[in-house]
């Protein structure tokens, strides 16, 4: 097979990724035609796209299978943040090379993701470019009455987050250090950056509990800000209640953790605690929604002012 033959590469390495899940995802026609064809179970569809670029979202030297897996994870995270069930992915790759070994490894990363989350790839595109860039489209299903938006938070709602913030930031530092003999904690941080968990079960179970939800991609400060802005509300946060690893301000502003931040009425707190136990995940109450239109952080009763802001691609 010629390394320059785009269509043979697609046919050999990318055509049947996750195809064993086509029936359960409603895919009728997958990769190979001008477009994919799929059916739905009379539910409403969620669609989102995410782009991962070399030296912005991941190191240029990262292994192709890890680039692929990570790109899928960060894109798919939007679906459970809306209370949906992930149905399929569409992958468009700008490859920095025509080397077949590199492309094969990239496809293996996609295959592992489809296996872990039991979701197929419906199609995509492949071109050669100067730098690696991966665009992932994700489709999910949800009943529109169960859709979790960012704009539903109400005054006195409690604010919760899953997991521990800051671990992905530490994982990137471990990766950049090129250290070989890693401790158990360092391995955990590295995995958090390379293969962030997609909270499929949590998102679906929050459908009738949460009033708003968002995945923490750009840092808690900014992402909670999106909830407050779209809900026309503010928030009071107790920093002592936020589980974090590494420097506190990095944990709040760096992002890449892909945990869920959500709000819920006070009378649902016990239900949320029981949900955390049943899913065997950590969920912490960190504050409450206010009518102030401002996010305030407190350490005990003392207000804390943060100097850093969340990640923004266009920040000068």
Q: What are the residue ranges of helices labelled H in the chain?
A: 6-9, 22-25, 64-76, 78-81, 100-117, 167-177, 184-194, 200-205, 220-231, 248-253, 269-279
Q: Residue 192 and residue 133: Cα distance in Å, rounded? A: 21
Residues within the annotated binding site for substrate?
Answer: 57, 256, 311
194 Cβ neighbours under 8 A, 6+ residues apart: 66, 69, 70, 171, 175
Other CB atoms within 10 A of residue 52 CB: 20
Contact 52, 58 (CB under 8 A): yes
Residues within the annotated binding site?
Answer: 34, 48-50, 57, 78, 124-125, 150, 215, 217-218, 256, 311
Other CB atoms within 10 A of residue 185 CB: 12
Contact 298, 163 (CB under 8 A): no
Residues within the annotated binding site for Mg(2+)?
Answer: 34, 48-50, 78, 125, 215, 218
Burial of 37 (0-12, 13-18, 19+ CB in 10 A): exposed
Q: State the residue for tokens 């509300």.
A: 233
Burial of 41 (0-12, 13-18, 19+ CB in 10 A): exposed
Residue 228 CA from chain centroid, whole number: 20
Residues within the annotated binding site for ATP?
Answer: 124-125, 150, 217
Contact 82, 207 (CB under 8 A): no
45: which strand partners?
141
73 Cβ neighbours under 8 A, 6+ residues apart: 113, 195, 196, 197, 198, 258
């Amino acid at each position: 097979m010629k390394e320059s033959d785009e269509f043979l590469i697609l046919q050999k390495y990318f055509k049947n990724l996750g195809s064993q899940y086509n029936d359960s995802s409603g895919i009728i026609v997958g990769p190979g035609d001008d477009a994919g064809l799929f059916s739905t179970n009379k539910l409403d569809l969620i669609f989102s796209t995410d782009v991962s670029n070399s030296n912005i979202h991941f190191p240029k030297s990262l292994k192709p299978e890890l680039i692929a897996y990570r790109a899928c994870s960060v894109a798919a995270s939007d679906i459970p943040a809306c209370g949906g069930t992930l149905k399929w992915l569409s992958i468009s790759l700008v490859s920095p090379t025509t080397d077949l070994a590199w492309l094969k490894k990239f496809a293996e990363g996609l295959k592992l993701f489809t296996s872990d989350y039991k979701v197929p790839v419906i199609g995509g595109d492949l071109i050669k470019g100067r730098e690696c860039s991966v665009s992932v489209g994700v489709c999910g299903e949800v009943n529109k009455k169960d859709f979790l938006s960012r704009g539903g938070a109400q005054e006195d709602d409690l604010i919760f987050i899953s997991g521990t913030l800051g671990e992905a930031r530490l994982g990137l530092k471990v990766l950049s250090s090129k250290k070989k003999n890693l401790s158990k904690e360092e391995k955990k941080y590295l995995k958090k950056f390379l293969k962030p968990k997609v909270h499929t079960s949590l998102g679906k179970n929050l459908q009738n509990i949460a009033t708003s939800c968002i995945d923490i991609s750009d840092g808690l400060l900014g992402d909670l800000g999106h909830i407050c802005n779209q809900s026309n509300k503010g928030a009071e946060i107790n920093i002592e209640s936020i589980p974090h690893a590494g420097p506190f301000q990095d944990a709040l502003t760096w992002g890449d953790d892909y945990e869920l931040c959500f709000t819920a009425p006070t009378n649902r707190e016990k239900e949320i605690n029981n949900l955390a136990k049943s899913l065997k995940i950590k969920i912490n109450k960190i504050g409450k929604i206010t009518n102030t239109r401002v996010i305030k952080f407190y350490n005990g009763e003392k207000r804390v002012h943060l100097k850093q802001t969340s990640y923004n691609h266009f920040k000068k």
